[in-house]
Structure 1
Amino acid sequence: MTTSTPPLREAARAIVLDADDRVLLLRYDENGGFWATPGGSLENGEDHATATIRELREELGVDEKAVEIGPQLAERSKDHLVGGREVRQVERYFLTRVSAAAVDPAHATQPDNIRETRWWTISDLRAATETVYPVGLADLVEAVVEGRTPALPVVLD
């Protein structure tokens, strides 16, 4: 019996913080509903930072001039279905600073299946009864807000 590894799908995700250190999450209805950070797969020839900025424009209408990309904070690998086929998605999470006023979903060019956007405080994340991805986001955001940005990317579940 042989098992095959699903094809690799590289993705860039943004941990978007505003001036008040709130994190921006997007709500999706599929798989019972969940909240997640903005982001998506890399396009041909694209690096992770460029993909992060593009995804913020496509999903949230954020002008690239309004985005401050920081270090890679985390990485996560997960097998899941995309377009009906299984892939192994490897996500890199980047600290991104954006003013709340720069987020304009009405100007999003590819809002996918986003149902809602919301700014969350660390307390909101810790009290959440809904599913939030990635697991461990509250601890990671809290560390960054407290000035404890990880020297190397944290591996998330």
Structure 2
Amino acid sequence: MTTSTPPLREAARAIVLDAEDRLLLLRYDENGGFWATPGGSLEDGEDYDTATLRELREELGIDEKAVELGAQLAERSKDHLVGGREVRQVEKYFLTRVWAAEVDPARASQPDNIREHRWWTLAELRATGETVYPHGLADLVTGVVAHGAPPRPVVLTV
């Protein structure tokens, strides 16, 4: 019996905080609805920093000059369907800081089925009954706000 590993899909995701340490999340309707951080797959020849900035521009209309790109905070691997085929997605999460006023979805060039964007306080994130990905995001952001970036990226599950 042979098992095959799905093809690798590398993705850059942004943990976007504003001046008040609120977290920006995007809502999608798929799979019963969920909230997630902005981001997506790397394009050919692209590094993670470049992909993070491009995704923020494409999904939220944020000018890259307005973004303070920080350290990699976490990583997550997950097998799932993308465009009808199974992939092993490896996501790297980067701290980004922007002014809330810089978010302008009207300038977004690829909104990718985003239904809504919302700034969440840590208290709101901890109290919500809605599905938020990745799991453990509230704890990660709480630690970053209190102590700064972890010395090594945290490994997140699911």
Same fold (TM over 0.5): yes
1:33 aligns with 2:37: no
CA-atom RMSD, angstroms? 0.5
Q: Name 2:98's counterpart in structure 1.
A: 98
Unmatched segments (≥5 aa) in structure 1 = none
Within a 5 Å distance, the mapping from 1:8-157 to structure 2 comes to 8-157=8-157
SS of aligned partner of 2:147: coil
Shift of 1:148: 3.9
SS at match of 1:138: helix
Secondary structure of the corresponding residue to residue 146 of structure 1: helix
SS at match of 1:19: coil
**Shift of residue 154 of structure 1?**
0.1
3-state SS of the aligned residue for 2:46?
coil
TM-score normalised to structure 1 length: 0.99
Q: Which amino acid aligns with 1:50?
A: T
Aligned length: 157
TM-score (norm 2): 0.98
Once the 2 structures are TM-superposed, how far is the Cα of residue 147 of structure 1 from its aligned partner? Answer: 2.0
Write the distance in 2 (CA, Å) between the matches of 1:99 and 1:89: 29
* Unmatched tracts of structure 2, length 5 or more: none
Quote the offset at 1:149 in angstroms: 1.9
Letter in 1 for 2:102: A
Letter in 2 for 1:100: A
Q: Partner of 1:79: helix, strand, or coil?
A: strand
